[in-house]
């Protein structure tokens, strides 16, 4: 079967759309609402109009995303009629669009701007004329919704429903007053949204955007009395490249450190260090549960993903007793940066501001949790996502592709194991925990360092591991909240066969977090980023968290042992209260 694309023959298969064939042939057709990875083709933006002449001679303008190919069909993607029709569509989209481009989070990276450019739209006669939606909703902890930037593509509705199974976003209003919304209320009042930010990854405009807090970081840097301690999450080095214009997955760790140092950060440290601490605390907790379960399976869930914690809090609070009390690596880093670091470096704790660079929007929410503050002072003062970091570098004239890489600059809180690097991807916290727990529960020499069944991108993964002390351990790994339902049902109904379950809210885990650089997330980007994570684990000399010498020094010089009273005071929490 073949069609003719702009006069050239193109082979195709029954059931394919014109858009799919055009993409394969490298023929550009603009789209705004379509999102292939979600199978989302509402045909509402009408930017993909093409001129179609069927074999029988019928000529029509049709949307390429919804038109199936027919043998002998002739498709013109750039005729005068097509260009005029697309320009009119772009003009209509701008009729109720606020067009405050210069202050928009997506300025220069907006799909609507690109469509306007591609269609040759100069000055819209209708620009902003029909705007009837002026809400700017800043009530959510990490994300902002601007109604008159919404072009009603419904990608956010679909990702929240199909990938997260949360369905927090609804379509509201009629005519020019319609847009997406949150059950008729404010976003911050949603009893479902977990602040994962997946909606902000797929939004084609700046309608759903991360709350930009880069100015606060600049204020800290400008204050001579403030000591800035920056931590960089495990996934950030793999999830920044596309934002900087580099190929997906390129590890830009040294460049990010160098850029932050150039901006004037006092300490640039590695969250992987506190991920190793997390494993010691969480592993000790798991061993304790195994010792006291009296033959029952007492399932424990990981606790490091704040989207997951929000989900438990909002939708499954009865499961909190199954959630590990160990704080996330971000929160552990914050607590130790304000207690241990001042001791080691002779600093005034009150002068320290901890700034996290995270792939995750929900980490902003986590940092603001009252449970993670001591005497009313937050351990983590500010969280910037990968996209905010890219904007910060851009506005401050730092080109991460032109800067010489620099190492983390403190001898403390920086050393990391390969296990800690694995945190960045789904299955990684589990693999890191298994390396240490299996070593502590028997026969470390017989253990494989790689736990293949928890690797890869399958939505639910399971593994069984033999230990001398506890016999067979059964574990499960889930990413993408939509995949959670059956696992939670098993635990709630007492049928769970799993001793330990890792949950990451976002597809792929942190490498697919809602604050990462935009890529083609579920198809091309995630496998590439995940491969880079495994390669970094292979490269690092220390493989197990309990073998990290920096972490051993922390316990020897400060905390005592894993699970000690001080460790509990600083490194654990109770999300139920
Ligand atoms: Fe994650 Fe974690 S791995 S949650 O994905 O446990 O964000 O990268 O920082 O805290 O370490 C995110 C990543 C991150 C925590 C760690
Ligand atoms: Fe849905 Fe996540 Fe967006 Fe909330 S942040 S609306 S849960 S996709």
C-alpha 305/C-alpha 308 separation (Å) is: 5
Tokens of 75: 């498709």
| Ligand 1 atom with least separation from CA of 362 | 7
Ligand 2 neighbour 199 (Cβ under 6 A): yes
Residue 558 and residue 446 share a domain: yes
Q: Is residue 112 included in any domain, yes or no?
A: no
Ligand 2 neighbour 196 (Cβ under 6 A): yes
CA 574 to chain centre: 24
pLDDT of 513-539, one tens digit each? 999 999 776 778 999 999 999 999 999
| Ligand 1 atom with least separation from CA of 235 | 8
Residue 223 and residue 200 share a domain: no
Q: How far is the CA of 252 from the centre of ligand 1 (A)?
A: 17
The reported pLDDT for the residue numbered 128 is 63
Ligand 1 neighbour 358 (Cβ under 6 A): yes
Q: How far is the CA of 424 from the centre of ligand 1 (A)?
A: 6
- The CA angle 268-273-274, to the nearest 5 degrees, is 105
C-alpha 447/C-alpha 441 separation (Å) is: 11
Residue 349 and residue 288 share a domain: yes
Structural domain tally of the chain?
A: 3
Residue 289 and residue 148 share a domain: no
- The CA angle 300-305-574, to the nearest 5 degrees, is 60
Q: Is residue 105 included in any domain, yes or no?
A: no
Q: How far is the CA of 199 from the centre of ligand 2 (A)?
A: 6
Domain boundary among 172, 189, 211: 211
Q: Is residue 258 included in any domain, yes or no?
A: yes
The reported pLDDT for the residue numbered 444 is 60
Ligand 2 neighbour 168 (Cβ under 6 A): yes
Ligand 1 neighbour 271 (Cβ under 6 A): yes
The reported pLDDT for the residue numbered 446 is 57
Q: Exposed, middle or buried, 529 (CB in 10 Å: 0-12/13-18/19+)?
A: buried
Residue 390 and residue 477 share a domain: yes
Q: Is residue 114 included in any domain, yes or no?
A: no
Q: How far is the CA of 514 from the centre of ligand 2 (A)?
A: 9
Ligand 1 neighbour 327 (Cβ under 6 A): no
pLDDT mean values, one per 10 residues, the chain (577 residues): 98 97 97 94 94 94 97 97 95 84 90 92 71 82 94 96 97 82 94 98 96 98 98 97 90 97 97 98 97 92 98 97 98 97 95 98 97 94 98 97 93 89 98 94 72 97 93 96 98 97 98 92 88 97 95 96 97 89
C-alpha 253/C-alpha 237 separation (Å) is: 5
Ligand 2 neighbour 160 (Cβ under 6 A): yes
Q: Is residue 101 included in any domain, yes or no?
A: no
Ligand 2 neighbour 166 (Cβ under 6 A): yes
Residue 195 and residue 52 share a domain: no
| Ligand 1 atom with least separation from CA of 366 | 10
Q: How far is the CA of 247 from the centre of ligand 2 (A)?
A: 27
Residue 274 and residue 171 share a domain: no
Q: Is residue 89 included in any domain, yes or no?
A: no
Q: Is residue 472 included in any domain, yes or no?
A: yes
The reported pLDDT for the residue numbered 169 is 97
- Note if the pTM is more than 0.80: yes
Residue 288 and residue 411 share a domain: yes
Asked if 219 and 384 touch (Cβ cutoff 8 Å), the reply is: no
Domain boundary among 141, 176, 211: 211
Residue 477 and residue 339 share a domain: yes
Give the count of beta carbons closer than 10 Å to the beta carbon of residue 150.
Answer: 25
ipTM for the complex shown: 0.95
CATH number for the domain that contains residue 381: 3.40.50.1780
Residue 203 and residue 232 share a domain: no
Ligand 1 neighbour 507 (Cβ under 6 A): no
The ligand placed nearest to the CA atom of residue 188 is: 2
CATH number for the domain that contains residue 150: 3.30.70.20
Residue 344 and residue 198 share a domain: no
| Ligand 1 atom with least separation from CA of 510 | 5
Q: Is residue 496 included in any domain, yes or no?
A: yes
Residue 311 and residue 207 share a domain: no
C-alpha 213/C-alpha 64 separation (Å) is: 39
C-alpha 181/C-alpha 196 separation (Å) is: 16
| Ligand 2 atom with least separation from CA of 182 | 6
Give the count of beta carbons closer than 10 Å to the beta carbon of residue 459.
Answer: 14
Domain boundary among 211, 237, 254: 211
End-to-end Cα spacing for the chain: 63
Q: How far is the CA of 552 from the centre of ligand 2 (A)?
A: 39
Q: Which domain holds residue 189?
A: 125-211
């Amino acid at each position: 079967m073949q069609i003719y694309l702009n006069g050239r023959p193109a082979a195709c298969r029954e059931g394919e759309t014109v858009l799919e064939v055009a993409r394969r042939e490298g023929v550009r057709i603009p789209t705004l609402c379509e999102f292939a990875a979600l199978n989302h083709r509402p045909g509402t933006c009408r930017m993909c109009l093409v001129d179609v002449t069927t074999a029988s001679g019928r000529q029509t303008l049709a949307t390429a995303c919804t038109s199936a190919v027919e043998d002998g069909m002739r498709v013109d993607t750039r005729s005068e009629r097509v260009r005029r029709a697309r320009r009119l569509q772009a003009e209509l989209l701008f009729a109720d669009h606020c067009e405050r481009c210069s202050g928009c989070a997506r300025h220069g990276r907006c799909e609507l701007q690109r469509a306007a450019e591609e269609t040759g739209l100069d000055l819209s006669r209708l620009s902003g004329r029909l705007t009837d939606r002026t809400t700017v909703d800043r009530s959510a902890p990490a994300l902002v919704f601007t109604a008159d930037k919404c072009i009603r593509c419904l990608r956010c509705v679909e990702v929240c429903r199909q990938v997260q199974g949360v369905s927090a976003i609804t379509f509201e209003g009629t005519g020019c007053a319609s847009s997406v919304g949150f059950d008729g209320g404010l976003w911050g009042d949603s009893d479902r949204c977990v602040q994962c930010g997946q909606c902000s990854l797929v939004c084609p405009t700046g309608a759903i955007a991360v709350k930009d807090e880069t100015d606060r970081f600049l204020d800290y840097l400008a204050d001579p009395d403030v000591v800035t301690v920056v931590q960089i999450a495990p996934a950030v080095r793999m999830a920044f490249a596309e934002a900087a214009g580099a190929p997906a997955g390129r590890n830009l760790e040294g460049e990010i450190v160098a850029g932050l140092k150039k901006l004037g950060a006092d300490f640039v440290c590695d969250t992987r260090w506190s991920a190793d601490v997390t494993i010691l605390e969480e592993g000790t907790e798991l061993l304790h549960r195994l010792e006291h379960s009296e033959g029952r399976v007492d399932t424990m869930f990981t606790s490091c993903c704040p989207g997951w914690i929000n989900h438990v809090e909002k939708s499954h609070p009865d499961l909190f007793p199954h959630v590990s009390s160990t704080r996330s690596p971000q929160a552990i880093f914050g607590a130790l940066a304000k207690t241990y670091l001042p001791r080691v470096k002779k600093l005034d704790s009150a002068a320290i501001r901890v700034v996290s660079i995270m792939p995750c929007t929900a980490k902003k929410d986590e940092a603001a949790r009252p449970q993670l503050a001591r005497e009313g002072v937050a351990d983590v003062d500010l969280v910037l996502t990968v996209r905010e970091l890219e904007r910060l570098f851009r506005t401050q004239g730092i080109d991460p592709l032109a800067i010489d890489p620099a190492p983390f600059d403190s001898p403390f809180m920086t050393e990391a194991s390969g296990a800690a690097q694995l945190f960045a991807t789904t299955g990684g916290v589990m693999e890191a925990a298994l390396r240490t727990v299996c070593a502590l529960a028997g026969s470390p020499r017989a253990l494989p360092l790689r736990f293949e069944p928890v690797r890869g991108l399958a939505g639910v993964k399971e593994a069984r591991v033999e230990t001398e002390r506890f016999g067979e351990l059964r574990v499960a790994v889930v990413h993408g909240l939509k995949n959670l339902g059956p696992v939670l049902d098993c635990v709630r109904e007492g049928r769970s066969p799993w001793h330990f379950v890792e949950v990451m809210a976002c597809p792929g885990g942190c490498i697919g977090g809602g604050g990462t650089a935009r890529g083609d997330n579920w198809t091309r980007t995630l496998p590439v980023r995940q491969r880079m994570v495994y390669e970094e684990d292979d490269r690092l000399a220390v493989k197990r968290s309990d073998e990290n010498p920096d972490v051993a020094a922390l316990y020897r010089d400060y905390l005592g042992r894993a699970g000690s009273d001080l460790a509990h005071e600083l490194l654990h929490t109770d999300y139920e209260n």
